[in-house]
Amino acid sequence: MLRLAHNGAWLVFLSAVGCGSGLTASPDGGGGTRATGGASGAAGGAGGVAGGPGGAGGVATDSRPACTAAFVQAAAAGAVPAAPAPGTCVVEPATCRAACSLPGCTVASDAVIRCADLDIARRGLRVTPAGSGTYVAATSDTETHLLLIGVTNTGIDLRTSLSGQFGAPLMLAVDATGDLHALGIGPGGTLAHGVQGAIGIFSTVSIPLSPDAGYNASAAAFEVGPSGEPHALLGTGPNVWSLARAFGGTWTFDPPGLASNFTLDPSDTEITFEVAAAGSGALSLVARRGGTTWPGYMAENSADFRITQAMAAPAAATLPPFGVASYDGNALHLAWPTATGPYTDLVIPNTPATAAACVGQGSAGCSGTCVDQQYGLEGHPFSLGRTDDGAAWLGYLSAHVDRTCTRSILTSDSQQFCTCSATSDQSTGELHLLRGAPDGTQPVEALVLPLEPPFASDLADDLPLISVRAFGTRVAVAVRVHDSAPKLRVITLETDATK
């Protein structure tokens, strides 16, 4: 069956690419992993952690050009980079320089990940800073990769016993000590929780069946809070989830329910979120913590909202219990719950949705040349992290669409679609990262970065395009874009001076 996907204003046909799952890492002397020929610290700088990317060198300035739309367009017309070997990924410095605009905020690392798998991160993308660098988990239908990026903007593709799959991508979180936790599919084919010791080596424990007859090996969310214990929202049936946690290595499960997401507040207490009908019959987001219920916030399905992550070591227990970002089709919003009353709702300006200007279902008017020029968000490309000072970090991808194409009619499964074959395409993407203070003031932009266009967002909105996550004062963002092939751009900011 032919599968239609929405790539901005285009209809694109996607097919899975079956590649092997081998990774380019080998055991190091300390039981961890190292990349063959991996990078080391530059002369004058400290070496990296054993088996990991090298430490900072003695270079005082960054000679890369600044990232501009013109640079991105020129690079797209340049030489096509060599494809990695089958089953592998490579990590290399980004060719242009990102910069944080907030006072005292610096770029700790800025790298690009390319994989032989053309469906890289199709089913899951998770980034997190940690004590040993920035980790990226990328899950497709055929491969799972866990990558570590160091301060030299290089990194390694780790070999790990945990993997991901459709409905249960490899998920990452970090505890207060900086240790990496992962939730994924273990060697026995069931969900497992792992804690990293030496780099790339996880001590894993399978998650047992829940008392209500178990789960279907799917996971919606994973967090590790200040106590260092893992929490996970696990699937027990179609759109039915059970919140579970492990204390002292023993997993306990809540009865199955309709919650589609959860987080941990600064006191390490679980908060669940579900989309439910209010008294008027309209759908909205309902948050619950014990006996406390927050009034509904705008959301019609789980794709419409994102929740702040758990904080590893909160600066104060008086911080708001969570933040929520949502998209109503017209603008992005960042909101904080209040103690008595509705949310403090903050609208993010200039965040419209793009429209399918040249393509669509049916054959009416489907001929000739079509010019598509517009700006906005395609699908739901936004994510939300939280630093330990309580601030929310909202990242989103927008697109500057500038395409010319020739229309034609395609028939598939007895239905007609208007498609458009490109004759020119000068489109670019744009990454935005904003800091929202927990006092409810308007968020301010920390990063605006021209880059390649986002890599599609299919009709079901199940292609992850961006992940934002923090640890302590560091914030990492990973985005899925494409030039000659899909790739990941991963940027980590040090934000300590922005408190």
pLDDT, average across residues 70-81: 81
Residue 40: is its pLDDT beyond 60?
A: no
Residue 56: is its pLDDT beyond 80?
A: no
Mean pLDDT for the chain overall: 82
pLDDT, average across residues 109-137: 94
| More reliable by pLDDT, 119 or 61 | 119
CATH of segment(s) 64-351+447-498: 2.120.10
Could you tell me if residue 405 is left (phi over 0), alpha (psi between -120 and 50 degrees) or otherwise beta? beta
Burial of 471 (0-12, 13-18, 19+ CB in 10 A): buried
**Which pLDDT band holds residue 62 (cuts at 50, 70, 90)?**
confident
Query: CA-CA distance, 17 to 467, in Å (whole number)?
Result: 23
**Which pLDDT band holds residue 458 (cuts at 50, 70, 90)?**
very low
Q: Where are the domains of the chain?
A: 64-351+447-498
Query: CA-CA distance, 389 to 340, in Å (whole number)?
Result: 23
Predicted local distance difference test score (pLDDT) of residue 432: 97
Predicted local distance difference test score (pLDDT) of residue 486: 87
Predicted local distance difference test score (pLDDT) of residue 314: 83
Residue 29: is its pLDDT beyond 70?
A: no
Residue 460: is its pLDDT beyond 60?
A: no
Name which of 127, 70, 63, 137 is nearest 94 in CA terms: 63
Residue 426: is its pLDDT beyond 50?
A: yes
In this predicted model, what pLDDT tens digit does every residue of 306-333 receive, in sequence order?
999 999 888 877 899 999 999 988 999 9
CA angle 184, 55, 469 (to 5 degrees): 40
As a whole-number percent, the residues of the chain with pLDDT over 90 amount to: 48
**Which pLDDT band holds residue 477 (cuts at 50, 70, 90)?**
very high
Query: CA-CA distance, 482 to 105, in Å (whole number)?
Result: 28
Predicted local distance difference test score (pLDDT) of residue 50: 39
In this predicted model, what pLDDT tens digit does every residue of 233-242 receive, in sequence order?
998 777 788 8
Q: Is the dihedral of CA 398, 402, 405, 409 positive or negative?
A: positive
Strands in 290-391 per DSSP E: 292-298, 305-307, 324-327, 332-336, 344-348, 360-361, 369-376, 382-386
- pTM, entire model: 0.85
What is the residue type of 445? E
Predicted local distance difference test score (pLDDT) of residue 167: 83
pLDDT, average across residues 41-48: 34
- For residues 354 and 401, the answer to whether their CB atoms sit within 8 Å is yes
Cα 185 to the center of its chain, rounded Å: 19
pLDDT, average across residues 449-477: 79
Predicted local distance difference test score (pLDDT) of residue 34: 33
Name which of 477, 474, 478 is nearest 497 in CA terms: 474
Predicted local distance difference test score (pLDDT) of residue 47: 35
